[in-house]
Structure 1
Amino acid sequence: MVGMSLKDLDQAQFDALAQETRQRYDELKARDLNLDLTRGKPSSEQLDLSNALLALPGEDDYTDATGADVRNYGNLAGIADIRELWGAALGLDPANVIAGDSSSLNIMFDLISYAYIWGTNDSPRPWKDEERVKWICPVPGYDRHFAITEHFGFEMVQVPMTPDGPDVDAVAELVKDPQVKGMWTVPIFGNPTGITFSPEVVEKLAAMETAAEDFRIVWDNAYAIHTLTDEFPANPNVLDIAARNGHPNRFWYMSSTSKITLAGAGVAFFASSKENLAWYSSHASIRGIGPNKVNQLAHARFFGDVDGLHTHMRKHAASLAPKFEAVIGILEERLGGYGVAEWTKPKGGYFISLDVTDGSATRVWELAKDAGITLTKAGASFPHGVDETDTNIRLAPSLPPLDEVRTAMDGVATCVLLACVDAAQR
């Protein structure tokens, strides 16, 4: 019967599908499962790939490339060893890269905090003194991004994602408002869609005129090298592109090793114009004396060079790719042709975005929960957790073992069919 849309089924076919789906769901609940597809955490298998870090840099290895003792205070910008390696990996000038502690999300929060309290280096006044601050949020997007701007009380304005990235025409219209101060982005293998921005979208975001002189794009390049294949995506140097277009301070560029080595003990990076970095450092130098440089040296020793980094990422791909293939394969086998769902097919990153029939996502989430399968709550990829069409669910297959991913996704497919059959009940 697969291959026929629900609307194309005659009454007998529809009744047969409904009965079969309810029976499968009852059997699913009877299995008393406890499976989790919520957050995009590395699996134990992936974390094991970096266990050698726990012995690095070693008892007698504590000086960086400049001869400085990494065990001591200082060097807010981070050690040259890791900044040069990461600059080479991302195609950035190391002079424009700061290496920090483990979380790029912490740096993003700090950036917004500094702008809110004191204003940016281009601000006429602190953002807290603005009548209102508006922030552009491509949807579906990263829930923790939205949580930051919600925390500061910013008005979050949604723009839809397209297969090439955010709707740049909609963005260009919004930035005519001087109260629009910024925009969230995940430009490569985005969360949750897996979409990579096209060169045209990147160029337009870098070049567009904005009413606010202090407009900033948070370029959260969290998945720049998280391929699921042997090939790595093109990674445009948006700092250079923006400078060439007369907007050198537009981008706050983020990256980290959090899903590359040990998620709780990585290195985060902030790249931007020299003027932006000086502004950031003027506040960050008061906040703290310097990052964990021992950990930075350990990472530099662990990777060695960009080739070593890429070799390591291919090991991650070998672990992750079968799980993504299982998710997509089961969705195609169980739901393909019924016209009740669409999903992305990313070539990298950590997530798959599942869209179900309008008004059905919350019901799918509830059915899965009752069957022992925990999904990210419907709407989580939208500001304030509200998806007005109630269609989107983020799938994160990285953490569970492959057999659990298969079991969970077969159950999710049953829940999707049941929710949509019930909604279309004749």
Structure 2
Amino acid sequence: MTTELSQMSHDELSALLDEQHSLHAELKAQGLALDITRGKPSPRQLDLSRELLSMRVPRHAADGQDVRNYGGAKGLPEIREIFAELLGVDVDHLLAADNSSLSIMHDLLTFAMLHRLPGAQAPWFGQNIKFIAPVPGYDRHFAICEHLGIEMIPVEMGEHGPDMDEVERLAADPSVKGMWVVPMYANPNGVIYDEETARRLVSMKAAPDFRIWWDNAYALHHLTDAEPAPLPILQMAQEAGNPDRIFMLASTSKITHAGDGVAFLASSTGNLDWYLKHASVRSIGPDKVNQLRHAHYLKDAGGVRELMRRHRALLAPKFQIVDSVLKRRLDGTGIARWTHPAGGYFVTLDVLDGTASRVVALAKEAGIALTPAGSSHPLHDDPHDRTIRLAPSFPTEGELQAAMDGVATCVLLAAAEKLLG
């Protein structure tokens, strides 16, 4: 389609509406059951690491620890050394934990609510604290704040990160205590934070107990031959005189298996000592058997990079399908634009203002599950009702082709309804 819908006559829009109604009816008649709601690895991706389920694991780590027993709160040196290299941090500033980095993020924030952070005058509980929330952003980040009653202030994302003038203005308020950041292939729009943005974040004026949750979930998840290295953010923070500002998180959830992965926390010595003090009450050490299994399976940083290239071979064609279908069905209509990420797990589709919720509802009627409209914004409130997150990873290529064709029909149908309304 080459004509913008806003330029169509009433009769032309009515004809388009009738056409899309017919296509939508055909979709419903097919009895589809397609799900592109979450960025889950596909079974083929999980099978890349199936050896983990059967390999033998020694009883002792390189430092002599019996991995079957209690202790070892910092995690095994073997797995920490591999990921310290990959994440660009000193191994002494990196902890290895259980499978979920989201659990660590939740614990960090909960501990800060209940126990005084380094630099804080008091625990955050009972204070009217606020977090900066770049939008569109990651719904599970926002859910932690919502669950704990923390106010979130949306800041629009740009090409290299959020609007830093606005971030700096907000951070100067002492009641603003934190910020969510996905620096590499941001969820959901694929933005890569550049060095200038990162340096401004670690240098800006903020409360002494202001922290950035630097979620490096997709640092190794490239979709092209270009494999940019993660920014050395802990070193940048140290150089800026704010060594405690960063909590860096990462995991193997989309590298090996989400169900038996290893999560990581990197930060300053003061932050890590504080975290371990409180985490030791919650747990007497992580799953060291699994950490050793991962270290033996991955072998070294090069082994991880090679495994991620095998993931890329499975994922990149799916992102190409999304782009190809959207381009064929929606290019030139003036009612949709979408991202072309170089990595990560998502494509952001922006539709005609006021129609995202309708698109999601129409897709549901046709048996296509999309992430609920508004999920990319705090409290599920997208003021423009325009942003939809697409997750191409889990379906087969055939299923994804059908799903995206259906989504395009729903976008056109919702837009025609809106413009005729």
Q: Deviations over 1:85-113 (max 9, x none)?
A: 00011111100000000000000111011
The equivalent of 2:194 in structure 1 is 198
Question: 2:89 matched to which residue of 1?
Answer: 92
Assess if the C-alpha contact under 8 Å between 2:10 and 2:420 holds in 1.
no
Say whether residues 1:81 and 2:78 are aligned partners. Answer: yes
How far off its partner does 1:231 sit?
2.8
CA distance in 1, matches of 2:321, 2:274: 46
- 2:149 counterpart of 1:150: no
User: Who is 2:373 aligned against?
Assistant: 378
- Aligned letter for 2:101? S
Match of 1:141 among 133, 137, 143: 137
Per-residue CA deviations over 1:293-329 (Å, capped at 9, x if unaligned) read 1100111111111111111001111111111110111
1:356 alignment partner in structure 2: 351
1:344-371 per-position Cα deviation (integer Å, ceiling 9, x unaligned) = 1101111111111110000000100011
| SS of equivalent to 1:243 | helix
Find the counterpart in structure 2 of residue 207 from structure 1: 203
Distance 1:302 1:177 in 2: 47
Q: Which residue of 2 aligns with 1:300?
A: 295
- Report if aligned partners of 1:229, 1:314 keep a CA contact under 8 Å in 2: no
How far the C-alpha of 1:287 sits from its partner, in A, is: 1.4
Task: Report the 3-state secondary structure (helix = DSSP H, G, I; strand = E; otherwise coil) of the residue aligned with 2:259.
Answer: coil
1:39-79 residue CA offsets vs partner (Å, 9 max, x unmatched):
111110000011101123x15x2222212221111110000
Alpha-carbon separation, structure 2, partners of 1:45 and 1:34: 19
Distance in 2 separating the partners of 1:107 and 1:219: 12
* Native 8 Å contact 2:24 2:409 kept in 1: yes
The Cα shift of 1:11 comes to: 4.2
What TM-score, normalized to structure 2?
0.98
2:262 counterpart of 1:267:
yes
1:22 Cα deviation from its structure 2 partner: 1.9
Q: Secondary structure at the match of 1:128?
A: coil
Matched with 1:105 is 102
Aligned-partner Cα distance in 2 for 1:380–1:230: 31
| CA apart distance, 1:12 | 4.5
After superposition, what is the alpha-carbon deviation per residue over 1:267-305, rounded to whole angstroms, capped at 9, x for unaligned? 000000011101111111121110001100111111111
Residue in structure 2 matched with residue 183 of structure 1 by the alignment: 179
Instruction: Tell me the equivalent position of 2:123.
Output: 126
Check if 1:35 corresponds to 2:34: yes
Matched, 1:62 2:35: no
- Partner deviation per Cα, 1:370-393 (whole Å, 9 max, x = no partner): 111110100011111111111111
SS of the aligned residue for 1:138 comes to strand
The separation in 1 between residues aligned to 2:199 and 2:54, in whole angstroms, is 43
Distance 1:397 1:230 in 2: 19
Using the TM superposition, give the Cα deviation of residue 9 of structure 1 relative to its aligned residue in structure 2, in angstroms. 2.5
Whole-angstrom CA distance in 2 between matches of 1:112 and 1:222? 18
- Aligned-partner Cα distance in 2 for 1:299–1:231: 26
Using the alignment, how far apart are the partners of 2:33 and 2:277 within structure 1? 48
Task: Provide the TM-score with structure 1 as the length reference.
Answer: 0.97
Match of 1:410 among 384, 402, 405: 405
Structure 2 stretches of 5 or more lacking a match?
none
Aligned alpha-carbon RMSD (Å): 1.1
Distance 2:229 2:300 in 1: 18
Question: In structure 1, what is the Cα distance between the partners aligned to 2:187 and 2:10?
Answer: 39
How far the C-alpha of 1:122 sits from its partner, in A, is 1.2
Partners in 2 of 1:14 and 1:374 — Cα distance? 27
Does the residue aligned with 2:214 lie in a helix, a strand or coil?
A: strand
Give the Cα–Cα distance (whole angstroms) in 1 for the partners of residues 288 and 353 of structure 2.
50
- Letter in structure 1 aligned against 2:154: Q
**What CA distance in whole angstroms lies between the structure 2 residues aligned with 1:231 and 1:294?**
34
Partners of 1:307 and 1:182 lie apart in 2 by 34
Contact 1:101 1:291 in 2 (8 A): yes
Give the conservation status (yes or no) of the 8 Å contact 2:133–2:180. Answer: yes
